Amino acid sequence: MSPPVAPAGWSRWLVPPAALSVHLSIGQAYAWSVFKPPLESALGLSGTQSALPFQLGIVMLGLSAAFGGTLVERNGPRWAMTVALICFSSGFLLSALGAATEQYWLIVLGYGFVGGIGLGIGYISPVSTLIKWFPDRPGMATGIAIMGFGGGALIASPWSAQMLESFGSDSSGIALAFLVHGLSYAVFMLLGVVLVRVPRTGRSPDGEPAALPGPRVPARSAVRTPQFWCLWIVLCTNVTAGIGILEKAAPMITDFFADSSAPVSATAAAGFVALLSAANMAGRIGWSSTSDLIGRKNIYRVYLGAGALMYTLIALFGDSSKPLFVLCALVILSFYGGGFATVPAYLKDLFGTYEVGAIHGRLLTAWSTAGVLGPLIVNWIADRQEEAGRHGASLYGLSFVIMIGLLVVGLAANEFVRPVHARHHLPEPKEAADDRRHQSA
Amino acid sequence: MTGDTSPPSTGRRGLIAFSWLWVGAPLAYGLYELVRKATQLFTG
C-alpha cells in the first residue's frame, strides 16, 4: 500500500487533527478502570482479573509499536490508522460479545489482545508524518498528538461512566456500552484515516523542499547505536519517576497529611489526581513545544535535573506544606508528559525522519519497562514500610530516594547523547540530492 | 520547508475548521469535566 501523498494546496494544519482523532480515541485505555467495578460484580471477577484486559492491552501496545513500526513506515500513516481503527473498534465489539454472553476470555482477547494492537499501531501512526510536515516545529507537532493520548482518558472517563449509569452495570448494560464505544470510536477515528497525507517526497505542495536534509538512519541500525540506548534510559527513568507519583497519587497525598491539622479527604484526593492529569497533558504540549526553542538535550536536562530537585523537595519538606507538595507533584507530572511528547523529536534530531516512527516504536519498550518498574518500586516499598510499623510520609521516603537516583542516572545518560556516527547513515537518495542542487543553483 | 505556506482555499479553510472542531469538541468536554473534578482539591 503506498502512502497517501498530499495534493497541491493541502494544508499541513489538517494533519494534527487527523493525528488527534486517533490519539484521543486510543487514550481511552487509561480510563479502563471505569469498567472494572461493574465487570467485577456482573461477571464475578476479582480485581486482578478485571485489570487483565488493560494490562494485556498495554503489553500489546509495546509489542505492536516495537515490531509493527517498520510496517507503519513502509505502508504509511493511512494504512496504520486503518489498522488502528479496525483493531481498536473490533476489540470493543468482541468485548461487547463477551459481556453479553458472559464469556470473560472474549473481553481479554478483544480489548486486551486485538484492541492492544490498535493501541500500539495507532500510537506511532502519525509520528513520522507530523515530523515531516513540521520540520521547523517537530516538538510542537508531536506534542499535539501525544497530548491527545492523555486527553483521551479525560474524555472517556466521564463519558463511559455516564453510559454505564444509563445502560446499567449488569452484563447487558456493559455489553451495550462496549458496543457504543466500538462504533463511536470507529466513526471518530475515520477522520484521521480520511485526512492524513504525507508531503510529496523532496518537495512540499508549493514546490519548496519538504524537509531539511538530515541523517537517514534505518531502525535496524538505530538500535545498534549507543544514542538509542542512552535515550532508552532517559525515557525509562523519566517515566518511572512520573509513574512513581501517578500510581499512588490519591493514597500518597492522604498519607502525607494524615497527621496534620487539615487532613486530605477522599474527594480532595480525587481532585488532586485530576490536577495531575491536567499537568501531564499540559506538559505534553507545553514542554515539547519549548524543546523546539531550547533544544532537545536541554529540555531533558530540565525534566531530569529539575525533576530530581522536585522529588528532593517533596522528600524533605513535602509533609510540612500542602501547596509545596502539590506544586512539586504537578511539575513532576508535567515533566512526565513532556518526556513522552518530546522523544519523537529527539529521535528525529539524531536519526532523521527516514524511519523515525519505527525507531520510536522500538523505544517505547522503555515505557513498558517503566510501567512495571515505577508501581513496583513505590508499592513494594510502601508495603514493607507499613509492615515495619511506619505510616504517613515515611512510607514513601525510600521510594523518593530511589526516584532521585534514577533521575540522576537518566540525566547522565542524556549527557552521553552525541550525534550519530556517519557510518550508520544511509546515502541521500539521488532525487533529493538533485532537488537540493537545483535549489542552490 | 514547512509544507504549504500559501493561504488555503475557502473549501480547505472550512475543512480545517471542521476537523479541529471534530477533535476540539470532545476534548473541551473532557477538560470541563477535569476542571470540575480538580476544584474538589480546594473545596473537598
From first to last of its 441 residues, chain A has per-residue pLDDT tens of: 678 899 888 899 999 999 999 999 999 998 898 998 999 999 999 888 888 898 899 889 989 999 998 899 899 999 999 999 999 999 999 999 999 999 999 999 999 999 999 999 999 999 989 999 999 999 999 999 999 998 898 899 899 999 999 999 999 999 999 999 999 999 999 999 999 999 987 555 444 445 556 788 999 999 999 999 999 999 999 999 998 888 778 888 998 888 888 888 888 888 888 889 889 999 999 999 999 999 999 999 999 999 999 999 999 988 888 899 999 999 999 999 999 999 999 999 999 988 999 999 999 999 888 888 888 888 888 888 888 888 888 888 899 999 999 999 999 999 999 999 988 888 877 666 665 556 555
Partner A contacted by B14 (CB < 8 A): no
- Cβ–Cβ below 8 Å for B12 and A206: no
Report the residue of chain A nearest B5, measured CA to CA: A206
A263 with A376, same domain: the answer is yes
Q: Residue B9: which pLDDT band, with cuts at 50, 70 and 90?
A: low
B11 and chain A in contact, CB less than 8 A: no
Share of chain B above pLDDT 70, in %: 73
Q: Per the domain annotation, does A119 fall within a domain? A: yes
Do A408 and A271 lie in one domain? The reply is yes
Contact B34 A9 (CB under 8 A): no
Shared domain check, A324 and A281: yes
Give the gap in angstroms from C-alpha B18 to the nearest C-alpha of chain A.
10
Give the confidence band of B3 by pLDDT, cuts at 50, 70, 90. Answer: very low
Whether A159 and A231 share a structural domain: no
| Smallest Cα distance from A102 to chain B, Å | 31
Nearest to A10 among B1, B4, B42 (CB): B4
SS3 A210: coil
Check residue A166 and give its pLDDT.
Answer: 95
Tell me if chain A has a CB within 8 Å of the CB of B16.
yes
- Please name every residue paired with A198 in a beta bridge, in sequence order, or none if there are none: A5
In a domain, A88, yes or no: yes
> Facing residues of A5 across strands?
A198
For chain B, the C-alpha Rg in angstroms (whole number) is 17
Tell me if A277 and B34 make a contact (CB, 8 A cut-off).
yes
Do A180 and A288 belong together in one domain?
no
Work out the burial of residue A140: count CB atoms within 10 Å of its CB; fewer than 13 is exposed, 13-18 middle, 19 or more buried: buried
Judge if A295 and A348 occupy the same domain.
yes
Q: How far is A303 from chain B (nearest CA, A)?
A: 24
Q: Tell whether A286 lies on the interface with B, counting CB pairs under 8 A.
A: no
At A245, which CATH number?
Answer: 1.20.1250.20
Q: What is the share, in percent, of chain B residues with pLDDT greater than 90?
A: 45
Domain that holds residue A283: 219-419
Same domain, A37 and A181: yes
Best of A14, A137, A194 to disrupt the B interface by mutation (most B CBs within 10 Å)?
Answer: A14
Q: Among B8, B9, B29, whose Cβ lies nearest the Cβ of A155?
A: B29
Interface test with A, best of B13, B34, B36, B43 (most A CBs within 10 A): B34
Does B38 touch chain A if contact means CB atoms closer than 8 Å? yes
What the block records as the C-alpha cell of A78 is: 493511512
Are A271 and A379 contained in the same domain?
yes
Domain final residue pick, A195, A210, A231: A195
* Same domain flag for A126 and A254: no
Residues 14-33 of A with CB under 8 A from B: 14, 17-18, 20-21, 24
> Is A263 within 8 Å of chain B by CB?
no
Query: What per-residue confidence (pLDDT) applies to A209?
Result: 44
Q: Is A172 within the bounds of a domain? A: yes
Task: Assess B25–A contact: CB distance below 8 Å, yes or no.
Answer: no
Q: Report if residue A434 sits inside a domain.
A: no
Q: Does the distance separating the beta carbons of B41 and A272 come in below 8 Å?
A: yes
Judge residue A21's burial from the number of C-beta atoms within 10 Å of its C-beta, 0-12 exposed, 13-18 middle, 19 or more buried: buried
A162 in a structural domain: yes
Question: Across the A/B interface, how many CB contacts are shorter than 8 Å?
Answer: 127
Q: A223 and A189 in one domain?
A: no
Q: Is A326 an 8 Å CB contact of chain B? A: yes
- Asked if the C-beta of A5 comes within 8 angstroms of chain B's C-beta atoms, the answer is no
Residues A74, A153, single domain; the answer is: yes
Does A177 lie in the same domain as A249?
Answer: no
Tell me if B12 and A14 make a contact (CB, 8 A cut-off): yes
Burial letters for A206-217: b for 16+ Cβ neighbours within 10 Å, e otherwise?
eeebbbeebbbb
B41 touches A at CB < 8 Å: yes
Q: Which residue has the cell 484515516?
A: A193
Inside any domain, residue A210: no
Q: Please list, residue by residue across B2-12, b when 16 or more beta carbons sit within 10 angstroms of its beta carbon and e when fewer do.
A: bbbeeebeeeb
**Cα–Cα dist A75/A81, whole Å:** 11
Tell me, yes or no, whether A438 lies in a domain. no
Residue of B1, B4, B29, B43 to mutate, interface with A, max A Cβ within 10 Å: B4
Smallest CA–CA distance from A191 into chain B, residue: B19
**pLDDT of amino acid A390:** 86
Number of domains chain A is built from = 2
Residue A166 lies in a domain: yes
Q: How far apart are CA A307 and CA A155, in angstroms?
A: 28
